[in-house]
Amino acid sequence: MEIDKIEKRIIIASLSLMGLFVFSLLYAKNKYKSDVPECIPYSKIYTEPKITKLDDQTYQVFAIARMWQFQPAKIEIPAGTDVDIYLTSNDVVHGFNIAEKNVNMMAVFGAINKTTVRFDKPGVYDIVCHEYCGVGHQNMRAQVVVNYREEK
Ligand code: CUA
């Protein structure tokens, strides 16, 4: 079977374009060390808000979004910490946005979304819900408080 010349060129052109897209995606992921949020199997243990210190540089947070607050409302950690965030919702779909850290997740009932964020600079980072979820939406926020590390 013979392929039309022009058709062949179009196929090659579109394949190279797709290759370019995939390449740029992987390139950006490596260059900016962006962490692609992952979806992990649902389990009841993630539905209780919790902050756990795993080691000196790693904290684990189970975050719950509900109308109209986040739990825990305040996450206090020392500077230079990686935080594994496991996020779910207790009711409708909420957003979970930390603008300064380029974190943009959805909180969905029955699903767990996970991402890891590194906090090097002391300060207060706002978490806001950026998905309209009802009358209390604009008040739905929380904070990550990054403290100076104590000298040892
Ligand atoms: Cu929760 Cu908007």
Closest ligand 1 atom to 137 CA: 2
Ligand 1 pocket, residue 107 CB under 6 Å: no
Question: How confident is the model at residue 152, as a pLDDT?
Answer: 60
Angle, CA of 90, 92 and 93, to the nearest 5°? 105
* Beta bridge partner(s), residue 117: 83
pLDDT tens figures, 45-104: 999 999 999 999 999 999 999 999 999 999 999 999 999 999 999 999 999 999 899 899
Nearest-CA neighbor of 52 among 79, 35, 72?
Answer: 72
Q: Which two tokens stand for residue 131?
A: 């998905």
**How far is residue 93's CA from residue 103's CA, in Å, rounded to a whole number?**
16
Higher pLDDT, 3 or 16: 16
Question: How confident is the model at residue 106, as a pLDDT?
Answer: 94
Is a pLDDT exceeding 90 seen at residue 126? yes
* Beta bridge partner(s), residue 12: none
Is a pLDDT exceeding 80 seen at residue 39? no
Ligand 1 pocket, residue 108 CB under 6 Å: no
